[in-house]
Chains A and B, each alone.
Chain A
């Protein structure tokens, strides 16, 4: 929210309409204005312009608004009077939320507040939480993830929220069974609880939650030191639908075999990283769960026929994720016999998956919508042939680094799977012919072609002309692409939100000037594009007002003159990487006008001095994370660092030596062709 400009505008507005009766908007009733506002809920800037139209719109919008996501906690006091009916407060952009702030929030929105997100905020204590929960008794949803400073005292404050239904305490590592016990007793209406990484919570705490909070639907117990002892109680929950037990190493087959309960309502179970659970444990756990729809067994025991047979009775099963598991031929055969029509399969990094197995499997699951075979390095054209001929309604295909798949296979994808919306062909042999074929998928929204050196402007031109719904395009190290291809995309894909054209020396300012037409563009990565300069960047800044993430690392020709237009236009910019650029103190200080800038990486900046850096740091009010070279650490005054840290900014000191850019050929040799994923 940019409140200063709003106010100025408002004052300007007054003299423009001296006769209120002549205001044409006055004929609109408040009801109609609210209806209009409801339609604008996706676009914050539209709401903002709307509210600035006239005085009555402004006041209606003020009263109509229920969700607020303030940019900085300091701006909050201005919102208290303007928005009296806020019910959903998202403070995830405010790194510093201290107890007095929470006190004011809780007294201002006492009757209306239903939801608050403090997952990215620090500096508050149990005292602030106590005032929040005692005052705002209507709170239904609270996100306190990452509050690593909170202790059981905070948990006992949470227990005051009698109406709480959704609570996340992920990474609250100091909270113990005692605190969870308080929450269990106090928050009896809990429906969703996330305790991921609450390392001090064990069986006793979880058991009490299960005994006291009978409404629980979703329970995330990942990485807790729990055993089967608490699961007996958990499985007795009548409404439990989602149960996440990722990385619970205390749970094993022997323990699970003692379970006497079965949870009939369970729809999703996640047993990822549970190395001590095999098919016997799994079958005891999901015994009798007739509603089961999704099962996630990533990085677990190997997929044998026994394991697959466990799943045979579940007729509503839709999704199976087996990422990182060892796949056996018998396991695949048994999976092919599943009664349920599977819609989603994930075999990412399953080294044992072969053409025979995959072909056999997809033939019996023709209804498949999503398939992930990332890094299944044994599969070839044969598999893709089977997949595309069997599963014609495929929506998402992720096949990064399927290195043995030939370029002809991609032609088949385009010909047969015309409903495709997402294709990840990173690090593949796809060429223009394949890309042209894929452009038939008119609903394509996400296309990843990183490290695909065989595609060129010709293929991209076809994509640009056919795939008008494209939102994400990854051309990282797609070195045969040049300005013409990018221009075609910019012309044909107005919905483009994210593009990566990093490490391509054929890209020049022309590309950026073309892309400046994409006014929805939010993320632009042009790392190591040596042909790009401040001119192109200026065009982007002027055209793409939604730009949120910008990475111009190693664009040596980008200098201060590129920063000035950014500072002027890119008011939405949150994250910038300027490492190795020719930016000096002047450019950096100019960027301080970006009131939303949170995350800055500025390693090896050509003309940066400690004084300039200090000035920039002090002026950027919203900074939460700054990556700097370690050599600046002794050069900055301790008081500045202390001030920044007190305002919620975290410094990451890097000690990397200045790297010269490798030429593309050298990079390929260095990482190898079959070479793993994109770094």
Chain B
């Protein structure tokens, strides 16, 4: 199949592995229990169940499934044509002796295709399995690495507590402004690497903007992280379950003297491009992606609350949305700040700027956190905060915000039933999805706590 080949080529071109924090390697979303889904009650025979268990470890990706289904459809169509032609040929040459070799060849072809279809079907069905109700014991036996993240079914409140703690700790780090985010991404200028002491790699624009960079050589499914691909591969057979197959590929090369890798931006003239006089390399692929999108791409994600701020990296939008509307420290120049000291630093710096006092309420400027704030914000649906409010509010918010519909939060928590009708946009939530995945889990937990 041609698209499969393309995927294979792609991953061959792209041998670099993500250097993500280990927590991201297992960042499978916290899947909410879907007790109401009748399909989830299907009982599988044990061996199959085990097989499917393994494949469930990667993300359940509706786009991939759609791909797989059309792929299956094509294959079945192709097979049907093949069998049809065999039947037609037999009718035409009835009475004549068929050469044995040809028959065997045809049979072999059909069998091979059928096998491929079955594998594909199983693999696709495996994507559904995370939503099947499991007993906690099975779960911990089959996927011990996930046990700590996965909420216990039927006990959303208790299972979610650990998650929300984690969420809090992660949330703090994502709470930074963009400058510091860049630093975290490794874009800081302070690195003192001499030219020549590192290897410069340059990805092309298409690679940078591709939603997936790791593809399964068997089924063609794409992944953002190699670790997720490796988890996925386990579904394709026992040979992918060995420790060697599951180990980080980087570790093999640790015996060789590892040359430090740095990345160049493909945009000519950019300071991050290797041909620039004052070239400053980017540390990781993640940095390349974020840098490229932020610097050289359109800012196509507009904040649904303020309708002014635009972003090219969806994670930046999510971070902004978290604080949008909460920037109550306002300067006369119109700039808002989430922190009073930032505003005062700004005013100290610029002549003629002065703190802006809101005319209607002085409450906002008192600096005292008002417990009534949150309830006010709930009333303004357009201004709600993902973190604080229940997912039902999110649904309302996502109705007039198509981009919001595609956040995994909405798929998983509330908008599950309707996602097929919504056309899929070519982007996916990208690299740093962890933050809002977890905040999604938090609102989910909140909701079930109330229930």
User: Which residues 49-88 of B sit at the A interface, judged by CB distance below 8 A?
Assistant: none
Contact in complex: A152, B354 (CB < 8 Å): no
Collect the chain B residues with CB atoms within 8 Å of residue A155's CB. Answer: 357
The interface bits of chain B over 26-67 (1 if a CB of A lies within 8 angstroms of the residue's CB, else 0) are 000000000000000000000000000000000000000000
Interface stretch (choices A62-70, A204-212, A373-381) = A204-212
Known: A177-B340, A181-B347, A208-B344. A159 touches B354 (CB 8 A): yes
Query: In the complex, what's the smallest C-beta–C-beta distance from A152 to chain B, in angstroms?
Result: 4
The interface bits of chain A over 497-527 (1 if a CB of B lies within 8 angstroms of the residue's CB, else 0) are 0000000000000000000000000000000
When chains A and B are docked, how far (Å) is the Cα of A182 from the Cα of B353? 9
Collect the chain B residues with CB atoms within 8 Å of residue A156's CB. Answer: 354-355, 357
Contact in complex: B367, A182 (CB < 8 Å): no
Query: Taking the complex as formed, is A300 at the interface, i.e. its CB lies under 8 A from any CB of chain B?
Result: no
When chains A and B are docked, how far (Å) is the Cα of A91 from the Cα of B362? 27
Pick from A153, A185, A186: contact of B362, CB under 8 Å:
A153
When chains A and B are docked, how far (Å) is the Cα of A156 from the Cα of B330? 13
When chains A and B are docked, how far (Å) is the Cα of A178 from the Cα of B348? 13
Contact in complex: A178, B355 (CB < 8 Å): yes
Contact in complex: A182, B366 (CB < 8 Å): no
Collect the chain B residues with CB atoms within 8 Å of residue A204's CB. Answer: 340-341, 344
Collect the chain B residues with CB atoms within 8 Å of residue A200's CB. Answer: 366-367
Known: A152-B362, A200-B366, A208-B347. A185 touches B340 (CB 8 A): no
Query: In the complex, what's the smallest C-beta–C-beta distance from A342 to chain B, in angstroms?
Result: 40
When chains A and B are docked, how far (Å) is the Cα of A339 from the Cα of B222? 84
Contact in complex: A174, B357 (CB < 8 Å): no
Contact in complex: A177, B348 (CB < 8 Å): no
Collect the chain A residues with CB atoms within 8 Å of residue B348's CB. Answer: 207-208, 211-212
Contact in complex: B355, A182 (CB < 8 Å): yes
Collect the chain A residues with CB atoms within 8 Å of residue B362's CB. Answer: 151-153, 174
User: Which residues 359-394 of B sit at the A interface, judged by CB distance below 8 A?
Assistant: 359, 362, 365-367
When chains A and B are docked, how far (Å) is the Cα of A211 from the Cα of B365? 21
Query: In the complex, what's the smallest C-beta–C-beta distance from A77 to chain B, in angstroms?
Result: 31
Contact in complex: A177, B354 (CB < 8 Å): no
Contact in complex: A152, B357 (CB < 8 Å): yes
Contact in complex: B340, A182 (CB < 8 Å): no
Collect the chain B residues with CB atoms within 8 Å of residue A179's CB. Answer: 355, 357, 365
When chains A and B are docked, how far (Å) is the Cα of A32 from the Cα of B375? 73
User: Which residues 145-198 of A sit at the B interface, judged by CB distance below 8 A?
Assistant: 151-153, 155-156, 159, 174, 176-179, 181-182, 185-186
User: Which residues 325-345 of B sit at the A interface, judged by CB distance below 8 A?
Assistant: 329, 340-341, 344
Query: In the complex, what's the smallest C-beta–C-beta distance from A321 to chain B, in angstroms?
Result: 34
Contact in complex: A153, B341 (CB < 8 Å): no
When chains A and B are docked, how far (Å) is the Cα of A205 from the Cα of B341? 10
When chains A and B are docked, how far (Å) is the Cα of A208 from the Cα of B344? 7
Q: Give the dominant DSSP class at A's interface.
A: helix
When chains A and B are docked, how far (Å) is the Cα of A153 from the Cα of B366? 12
When chains A and B are docked, how far (Å) is the Cα of A174 from the Cα of B367? 11
Collect the chain A residues with CB atoms within 8 Å of residue B329's CB. Answer: 178
Collect the chain A residues with CB atoms within 8 Å of residue B347's CB. Answer: 181, 185, 208
Query: Taking the complex as formed, is B352 at the interface, i.e. its CB lies under 8 A from any CB of chain A?
Result: yes
Chain B, residue nearest A180 (CB): B355
Contact in complex: B353, A185 (CB < 8 Å): yes
Query: In the complex, what's the smallest C-beta–C-beta distance from A184 to chain B, in angstroms?
Result: 8
User: Which residues 314-330 of B sit at the A interface, judged by CB distance below 8 A?
Assistant: 329
Pick from A153, A159, A177, A186: contact of B344, CB under 8 Å:
A177
Contact in complex: B359, A153 (CB < 8 Å): yes
Contact in complex: A178, B357 (CB < 8 Å): yes
Collect the chain B residues with CB atoms within 8 Å of residue A212's CB. Answer: 348
When chains A and B are docked, how far (Å) is the Cα of A204 from the Cα of B365? 14
Pick from A152, A181, A185, A205: contact of B352, CB under 8 Å:
A185
Chain A, residue nearest B360 (CB): A153
When chains A and B are docked, how far (Å) is the Cα of A405 from the Cα of B329? 62
When chains A and B are docked, how far (Å) is the Cα of A176 from the Cα of B361? 14
Query: In the complex, what's the smallest C-beta–C-beta distance from B349 to chain A, in angstroms?
Result: 10
Query: In the complex, what's the smallest C-beta–C-beta distance from B135 to chain A, in angstroms?
Result: 56
Contact in complex: B344, A181 (CB < 8 Å): yes
Among B340, B344, B353, B366: residue with most chain A CB under 10 A: B344
Contact in complex: A181, B367 (CB < 8 Å): no
Contact in complex: B344, A152 (CB < 8 Å): no
When chains A and B are docked, how far (Å) is the Cα of A152 from the Cα of B361? 10
Collect the chain B residues with CB atoms within 8 Å of residue A159's CB. Answer: 354
Contact in complex: A207, B367 (CB < 8 Å): no
Collect the chain B residues with CB atoms within 8 Å of residue A208's CB. Answer: 344, 347-348
User: Which residues 209-247 of A sit at the B interface, judged by CB distance below 8 A?
Assistant: 211-212
Collect the chain B residues with CB atoms within 8 Å of residue A211's CB. Answer: 348
Query: In the complex, what's the smallest C-beta–C-beta distance from B352 to chain A, in angstroms?
Result: 7
Pick from A176, A186, A205: contact of B366, CB under 8 Å:
A176
Among B352, B357, B366: residue with most chain A CB under 10 A: B357
Collect the chain B residues with CB atoms within 8 Å of residue A152's CB. Answer: 355, 357, 362, 365
Contact in complex: A177, B357 (CB < 8 Å): no
Contact in complex: A176, B365 (CB < 8 Å): yes
Chain B, residue nearest A185 (CB): B354
Collect the chain A residues with CB atoms within 8 Å of residue B355's CB. Answer: 152, 156, 177-179, 181-182, 185
Collect the chain B residues with CB atoms within 8 Å of residue A176's CB. Answer: 365-367
Contact in complex: B365, A186 (CB < 8 Å): no
The interface bits of chain A over 359-383 (1 if a CB of B lies within 8 angstroms of the residue's CB, else 0) are 0000000000000000000000000
When chains A and B are docked, how far (Å) is the Cα of A205 from the Cα of B348? 11
The interface bits of chain A over 597-634 (1 if a CB of B lies within 8 angstroms of the residue's CB, else 0) are 00000000000000000000000000000000000000
When chains A and B are docked, how far (Å) is the Cα of A174 from the Cα of B363? 10
Collect the chain A residues with CB atoms within 8 Å of residue B366's CB. Answer: 176, 200
Query: In the complex, what's the smallest C-beta–C-beta distance from A385 to chain B, in angstroms?
Result: 58
Query: In the complex, what's the smallest C-beta–C-beta distance from A204 to chain B, in angstroms?
Result: 4
Query: In the complex, what's the smallest C-beta–C-beta distance from B343 to chain A, in angstroms?
Result: 8
The interface bits of chain B over 257-297 (1 if a CB of A lies within 8 angstroms of the residue's CB, else 0) are 00000000000000000000000000000000000000000
Chain A, residue nearest B350 (CB): A185
Among B329, B340, B355: residue with most chain A CB under 10 A: B355
When chains A and B are docked, how far (Å) is the Cα of A156 from the Cα of B340? 17
Chain A, residue nearest B364 (CB): A178
Query: In the complex, what's the smallest C-beta–C-beta distance from A209 to chain B, in angstroms?
Result: 11
Collect the chain B residues with CB atoms within 8 Å of residue A205's CB. Answer: 344
When chains A and B are docked, how far (Å) is the Cα of A205 from the Cα of B354? 12
Collect the chain B residues with CB atoms within 8 Å of residue A207's CB. Answer: 344, 348
Collect the chain B residues with CB atoms within 8 Å of residue A185's CB. Answer: 347, 352-355
Collect the chain A residues with CB atoms within 8 Å of residue B340's CB. Answer: 177-178, 204
Chain A, residue nearest B345 (CB): A204
**Chain A to chain B: the 5 pairs with minimum beta-carbon distance, closest first:** A185-B354, A181-B355, A151-B362, A204-B344, A178-B355
Can you report 8 residue pairs joining A to B where beta carbons are below 8 Å apart? A151-B357, A153-B357, A155-B357, A174-B362, A178-B340, A179-B357, A204-B341, A212-B348
- Beyond A178-B365, A181-B355, A182-B357: 4 further Cβ-contacts under 8 Å? A151-B357, A156-B357, A159-B354, A178-B357
List residues of A whose CB falls within 8 A of some B CB.
151-153, 155-156, 159, 174, 176-179, 181-182, 185-186, 200, 204-205, 207-208, 211-212
